[in-house]
Amino acid sequence: MENQFFTCTKIHKGVYAAIVKDGQGALGNAGFVDLGDGILIFDTFMVPAAASELRRVAEEQTGKPVKYVVNSHYHGDHTNGNVIFKDAVIISTALTRQKMQESYENRDIPAMKAGMDSYFAQLEERIAKEQNEQLRIALEYDLSDKRKYSESLDLIEEVLPTVLFEDKLVLQGSERTVELYHFGGGHTESDLFMYLPDEQVLFAGDLVFVNNHAWMGHGNPHEWLTILEKMQKFAVSSIVPGHGNAGSHEDLQNTKEYIEDMIHFVSEMNQKGKSVEELMAEHMLEKYSKMDSPHVYEWNLNFLHGYLSQREVSHS
């Protein structure tokens, strides 16, 4: 099942992943589960048009109405589509709701569009000069996604979660049970994931990336590692990541190793007194040279340089 925004894949009976297509504005993966007496939507994409298509596909596939929406964390590529689900019960952690609410305070759409136009011009200039084909393609997708977001700004409204939990929440449907877990913040200040115990399917949000550079700049990489260790104790046959194709239990370890390797690499460079510019000039770690979203690698280097320097000062 495919459309402009995503490919819908049946992971298990009544359990579906919506894996985004690059450059179409959805950006972060979503999914849905047939609970028996209604549908649960997990994350809602970046642009409302993609969320509207998600709702259509979910209701068409199951013949049921949408009952719940879960927001894994506050980032817009997982929550902007909430506007399409105003009639559903939206669930998150309290801190995710707070961060979402803060993002709408003093929202100035003309100023946002002007700022994005400036960003687009810089990005176009870089794309024109970029010699690395893999990186150039990734930047073109990034530009396309952000353009579609900018074009959708007038359609995005503040639609906040109304059911909040802290550690664990169980939703018992007439046909299947889902469990929501919150072990703290890693990718952001607060990240939940969803687990289906009978099907052994885990919807990870942005706690897991499959063959994609995992963006770290709004979180705490060390806490993220602790969360992943706890997640590894779950029996998992399939994982729906926040970015990348559906994966398996080993992608918990793969994401963990990526974070560990990046921390180790940047720590070594910091100890040698390397500047951010010198760090950027280093060759990408060979192990990750073929990963998707290589532009995020640069973002991570920039973030980790400051994060680890500050951490070393605070621990000295």
CATH number of the domain bearing residue 211 = 3.60.15.10
Regarding whether 114 and 71 lie in a shared domain, the answer is: no
β-pairing, 192-196 with 30-34? unpaired
Checking if the pLDDT of 122 tops 90, the result is yes
Domain count, the chain: 3
Least confident of 96-105, 191-200, 305-314: 305-314
Regarding whether 140 and 176 lie in a shared domain, the answer is: no
Alpha helix segments (H runs only) across the chain: 48-62, 76-79, 94-104, 109-129, 133-152, 221-231, 250-271, 276-281, 294-314
Would 196 be classed as within a structural domain? yes
Please give the Cα distance from 255 to 214 (Å, whole number): 7
Name the pLDDT band for 314 (thresholds 50, 70, 90).
Answer: low
Checking if the pLDDT of 8 tops 90, the result is yes
* pLDDT at residue number 301: 97
Name the pLDDT band for 316 (thresholds 50, 70, 90).
Answer: low
Regarding whether 80 and 183 lie in a shared domain, the answer is: yes
Measured CA angle at 104 (ends 103, 109), to 5 deg: 110
Order of strands, sheet of 89-93, starting from the edge strand that comes earlier in the sequence: 6-12, 15-20, 30-34, 39-42, 66-70, 89-93, 163-165
* pLDDT at residue number 47: 98
Regarding whether 163 and 22 lie in a shared domain, the answer is: yes
* pLDDT at residue number 311: 83
Which of 218, 249, 280 is where one domain is finished? Answer: 249
> How many percent of the chain have pLDDT more than 90?
97
| 305: CB partners within 8 A, 6+ apart | 266, 269, 270, 276, 279
Regarding whether 94 and 49 lie in a shared domain, the answer is: yes
Regarding whether 115 and 37 lie in a shared domain, the answer is: no
Name the pLDDT band for 175 (thresholds 50, 70, 90).
Answer: very high
Would 87 be classed as within a structural domain? yes
Average pLDDT of 119-127? 97
* pLDDT at residue number 68: 98
Regarding whether 88 and 12 lie in a shared domain, the answer is: yes
Regarding whether 30 and 45 lie in a shared domain, the answer is: yes
Domain limits at 285?
260-314
Would 54 be classed as within a structural domain? yes
Q: What is the dihedral of CA 126, 129, 134, 140, to 10 degrees?
A: 40
Regarding whether 278 and 134 lie in a shared domain, the answer is: no
Regarding whether 19 and 92 lie in a shared domain, the answer is: yes
Regarding whether 151 and 168 lie in a shared domain, the answer is: no
Average pLDDT of 243-248? 98
| 3: CB partners within 8 A, 6+ apart | 53, 57
The model's pTM is: 0.97
pLDDT per residue over 25-72, tens digit each?
999 999 999 999 999 999 999 999 999 999 999 999 999 999 999 999
> Of 189, 168, 172, 191, whose CA–CA distance to 180 is shortest?
168
Please give the Cα distance from 161 to 113 (Å, whole number): 26
Would 254 be classed as within a structural domain? no
Please give the Cα distance from 259 to 96 (Å, whole number): 23
Please give the Cα distance from 190 to 136 (Å, whole number): 32
Checking if the pLDDT of 315 tops 80, the result is no
Order of strands, sheet of 168-172, starting from the edge strand that comes earlier in the sequence: 168-172, 177-182, 192-196, 201-209, 238-243
Average pLDDT of 235-244? 98
pLDDT per residue over 265-282, tens digit each?
999 999 999 999 999 999
Checking if the pLDDT of 248 tops 60, the result is yes
Average pLDDT of 142-171? 98
Regarding whether 179 and 86 lie in a shared domain, the answer is: yes
* pLDDT at residue number 310: 87
